[in-house]
Amino acid sequence: MTQPFLSTNPTADQLRALIKYLSTFRDGSGNIREKDPERSTRADSRQIERCLAEMFGVRPPESKSYYDFAVEINKDGGVVISAASVKSKEIENLRDFRDPKLRKKLRAYLEIANANAKDWKLCREMGLTEDNFREHKHASTFGSAILQRQSDERAVAETKIQQQRKYAAHRVVDANASVFLSVLYSPLDKHFQRDYLVSSYPIVLPGPTRWDFRGKALVGFDKHDGVLYEWYALSGSQFKYYPLIAGRKYGSALFQLLKPVQETLHQRAVKMFGHS
């Protein structure tokens, strides 16, 4: 059984459904206010997760787990699970995706983690200190540490998923079929519309060709000598991932959302529950 973004590109019908889900939050119920004449709203990161989970027919746990939701597929007498971690971000140059030449160099932006205490616990176990980072020492060892931390967090999340429904069929999380789901969106255009792009990337993070320090960040470079990772270990331990969009597993074309009628809270309440 194929699944959009997990094992194939979305069909036109699947993408239309996702557009409708995301568009519902433009009616005033979205958690982010837009700077347009209607003062509409849009979905925040948690609401975007709900839209994607709805497309798969699952309910997200909305926890701080490495994965945001899991999709079950019956296979060989057991249950094989593809899990997804959803990351959303506005990027200035997203509309470059329309140009085939510019698209080749366009990168996604995924904020993977910011687990300061856990990151530094592993670093100290590896003999690394905050002073080492400030002094730009042991770049490769620090790089190995932050990638190991992501692998460890993923393993913990997969174990929890496998242990759910104790008396059900055997459950296995397939890391090779699990993904980061990237939802990128552009700034508002002159018509107060945004362009959106949804892409999937392997959940197992690739190793960079080299690590080096650049200012406050440890930077991992890919084979094109482009920035693949940034880790701000002394600034909240933010870990960021910039894969080339051209290298994604599956994805959509650029799309825009629909414009629903703006409703006040009173109007929505009446529609749901009547006047009495």
Cβ of 128: how many Cβ atoms within 10 Å? 19
Identity of the amino acid at 254: L
User: Which value, in Å, is the radius of gyration of the alpha carbons in the chain?
Assistant: 21
- In this structure, of 78-92, 107-121, 125-139, the range with the lowest mean pLDDT score is 78-92
Buried b (16+ CB within 10 A) or exposed e, 243-268: bbbeebbbbbebeebeeeeeeeeeee
What is the structure's pLDDT at 169?
A: 60
What is the structure's pLDDT at 17?
A: 97
Identity of the amino acid at 35: K
Average model confidence (pLDDT) for the chain? Answer: 93
Q: Which domain holds residue 107?
A: 12-261
Q: For residue 86, name the pLDDT band (cuts at 50, 70, 90).
A: very high
Per-residue pLDDT of 11-53, as tens digits, reads: 999 999 999 999 999 998 999 999 999 889 999 999 999 999 9
The answer to whether residues 138 and 112 touch, using CB atoms and an 8 Å cutoff, is no
Q: For residue 127, name the pLDDT band (cuts at 50, 70, 90).
A: very high
In angstroms, rounded to a whole number, what is the distance separating the alpha carbons of residues 34 and 222? 36
Cβ of 18: how many Cβ atoms within 10 Å? 24
3-state class (DSSP) for residue 220: strand
Alpha-carbon distance values, 104 to 48, 101, 244 (Å): 26, 6, 7
Alpha-carbon distance values, 142 to 66, 91, 102, 128, 225 (Å): 21, 28, 33, 8, 19
What is the structure's pLDDT at 165?
A: 61
Q: Is residue 79 part of a domain?
A: yes
What is the structure's pLDDT at 73?
A: 76
Q: Is residue 2 part of a domain?
A: no
- Residue, of 146 and 76, whose pLDDT is higher: 146
Residue with tokens 């975007």: 48
Q: For residue 168, name the pLDDT band (cuts at 50, 70, 90).
A: low
Q: Is residue 238 part of a domain?
A: yes
Residue 248 phi/psi, 5-degree rounding, is -65, 160
In percent, the amount of the chain with pLDDT more than 70 equals 95
What is the structure's pLDDT at 268?
A: 84
- Residue, of 163 and 184, whose pLDDT is higher: 184
Mean pLDDT of 191-203: 97
Q: Is residue 275 part of a domain?
A: no
Q: End-to-end CA distance of the chain: give it in Å, rounded.
A: 47
What is the structure's pLDDT at 57?
A: 92
Structurally, the chain folds into a number of domains equal to: 1
- pTM, two decimals, is 0.92
Alpha-carbon distance values, 244 to 65, 125, 248, 267 (Å): 25, 33, 7, 44
Mean pLDDT of 264-271: 86
One DSSP character per residue, 115-138 reads -HHHHHHHHHHTT--HHHHHTT--
Residue with tokens 């042991």: 138
